[in-house]
Structure 1
Amino acid sequence: MTIRVQATLRIGGTLGRSHLANLTAAIADDHAYLDWSGEPFDPDKIEEGVPLVLTVNEIIGGELCMVEAFCRRHGLTYARWSGGHTEFGPIRVVFNGAGVPQEFPATTDDEVLIRLETIRALGSLHAIERHFAVANLTIPPFIIDPEPA
């Protein structure tokens, strides 16, 4: 049996309007919605000045594979919270627009946790604070650029 859990994905950054149809298709492929009630994604309902928030009630492994891959290809920042299951705990995944996404253990309320072995490996309060700063990445507003430069 495939494990399915809830997930929330917050996306920020600037996307050219010419890519909006591909983002919409990725959102549909992942069966993501604008809210927990299941309101389908409609690009006309994107709120200005805030991150784009997508939710999904049951997704395999808690990962929005198509949307997250799209975000990485287009340099969009994101943070995903995925609920846990008996086989794994909740996690937060953050992507700052470059490099590789980073995973952090989290609570069911999306608070980042830190394991004792991680504290020991980090070695200093300053390093621990940097760890939390990365995990609590501020997601910028999601902006549709009418004509990319």
Structure 2
Amino acid sequence: MVDRVSASITLGGTLSSQDFAHLLKLIADEDLSSEWDGEAFDPTHRIPGQSLTLHAHEVAWGRFEALERWCISRQVPFARWSGACSGECGGERVVFERGTEPEYYAADEVDEIVITRRMVEKLGSIEAILAYFDAADVTIPPLVVDGDDTGVSGANQS
């Protein structure tokens, strides 16, 4: 049996209209929502000028595997959080920024990064520990799609 947990992902970067259409299919395949326990994501839920955060419960292993692979292949930055599965695995945050490999961080049930004593000893200084936390706490840029009217404030918020 597959472990299933709650998870969310925040996406950003610039996409062509064609890539956005493919992204919409991946989002639908994962049954993602712009709100916890909300209705299925619809393109009108996206707010131009902001990153796109999506949520789901009962996510296999807490990963959006096809979506994450696609983001990496297209250099679409993302940060994903997944909750812990009791007795099996802890929560985690995964961060992908352009040109990097995804970085994995232990996280608690409210998406706060946590470290162990062994990690503190490995990092060796408060500066290194704070840098570790900073690396996990990236700001994902807005999700921009070709054709967005960037001169208009007050985006569609339906």
TM over 0.5: yes
* Deviates further, 2-11 or 92-101: 92-101
- 3-state SS in 2 of match to 1:126: helix
CA distance in 2, matches of 1:31, 1:97: 25
- Give the C-alpha shift of residue 143 in structure 1: 0.9
- 3-state SS in 2 of match to 1:130: helix
Which runs of at least 4 in structure 1 moved beyond 3 Å after TM superposition? Answer: none
Structure 1: stretches of 5+ with no match in the other structure: none
- 3-state SS in 2 of match to 1:143: strand
CA distance in 2, matches of 1:122, 1:134: 13
- Give the C-alpha shift of residue 49 in structure 1: 1.7
Summarize deviations over 1:46-71 as a string: whole Å, max 9, x none: 10121101111111100011111111
Aligned pair count reads 147
- 3-state SS in 2 of match to 1:10: strand
Q: Which position in structure 2 is the counterpart of 1:98? A: 99
CA distance in 2, matches of 1:37, 1:61: 19
CA distance in 1, matches of 2:2, 2:91: 17
Q: Which position in structure 2 is the counterpart of 1:125? A: 126
The percent identity for this pair of structures is 37
Conserved? CA contact 1:29–1:66, under 8 Å: no
Q: Which position in structure 2 is the counterpart of 1:36? A: 36
Q: Which position in structure 2 is the counterpart of 1:85? A: 85
What's the TM-score, normalizing by structure 2?
Answer: 0.87
Conserved? CA contact 2:93–2:136, under 8 Å: yes
Conserved? CA contact 1:24–1:43, under 8 Å: yes
